[in-house]
């Protein structure tokens, strides 16, 4: 994916102001919004018809951003996170803060991913962390292009960012314990 796709003033402004966007992520198309906005997160759950007991992956620009969600990492966890290989990998960390129940959905964990693409990381530096579930209605196949996403969401999304056809797969998911032990959740 070309880095410039994420450097769009309208995209940055919309996300920064709590809007909802369908755009390419570092894996597949996502329905994306500001993770620090409870209202935006709930709106995404509503239009995606996402099960209220499932949490979403949060895209962050660097490891220090987990602190925004009350997550303190150990040096063992950080070592594992920084050693994540090239395949996009989301990592689950413990989060028992009640104020973030709208994100962890009583699971008391949050999943984060630091994209490798510099353009996407720059977008995240400008907007802050973004939730990024796949662009589809719960239980349906993720959209591979903007037309499929529009069939799912129509006018309920503020902006669609076209990255062409994306044939890829969702990220791998791992749980990283405080002692650094890693458990693979999704390959």
Residue 10's H or E segment, with its range, is helix 9-16
pLDDT for the residue 168:
87
Nearest to 135 by CA among 113, 150, 120, 121: 150
pLDDT for the residue 82:
85
Per-residue pLDDT, averaged over 61-90, amounts to 91
Per-residue pLDDT, averaged over 9-28, amounts to 96
Spatial separation of the C-alpha atoms in residues 99 and 69, rounded to whole Å: 9
CATH number of the domain bearing residue 32: 3.90.870.10
- Domain enclosing residue 52, as ranges: 3-186
- Alpha carbon 26 to its chain's center: 10
Number of domains in the chain: 1
Could you please report the per-residue DSSP string of 95-142? ---GGGHHHHTTS-EEEEE--S-HHHHHHHHHH--EE--BSS-TTSPP
Residue 166 φ then ψ, to 5°: -120, 110
- pLDDT, tens digit, 9 for 90 and up, residues 136-167: 999 999 999 999 999 999 999 999 999 999 98
Give helix 118-127 / helix 9-16 axis angle, nearest 10°: 40
Per the prediction, the chain carries an average pLDDT of: 94
Which pTM value belongs to this model? Answer: 0.95
Q: Tell whether the model's pLDDT for residue 3 goes beyond 80.
A: no
pLDDT for the residue 161:
96
pLDDT for the residue 1:
60
23-32, 83-92, 126-135, 149-158: segment of lowest average pLDDT? 83-92
Percent of the chain with pLDDT over 90: 84
């Amino acid at each position: 994916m070309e880095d410039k796709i994420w450097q769009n003033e309208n995209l940055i402004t919309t996300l920064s102001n709590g809007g909802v966007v369908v755009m390419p992520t570092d894996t597949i198309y996502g329905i994306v919004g500001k993770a620090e906005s409870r209202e935006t997160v709930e709106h995404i759950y509503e239009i995606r018809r996402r099960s209220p007991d499932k949490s979403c992956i949060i895209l962050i620009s660097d490891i220090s951003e987990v602190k925004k969600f009350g997550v303190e990492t150990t040096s063992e966890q950080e070592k594992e996170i920084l050693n994540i290989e090239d395949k996009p990998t989301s990592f689950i960390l413990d989060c028992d803060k009640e104020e973030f129940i709208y994100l962890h959905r009583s699971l008391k964990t949050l999943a984060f991913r630091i994209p490798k693409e510099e353009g996407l990381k720059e977008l995240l530096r400008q907007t802050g962390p973004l939730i990024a579930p796949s662009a589809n209605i719960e239980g349906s196949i993720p959209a591979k292009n903007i037309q499929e996403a529009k069939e799912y969401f129509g006018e309920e999304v503020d902006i669609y960012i076209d990255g062409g056809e994306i044939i890829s797969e969702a990220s791998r998911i791992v749980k990283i314990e405080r002692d650094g032990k890693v458990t693979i959740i999704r390959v």
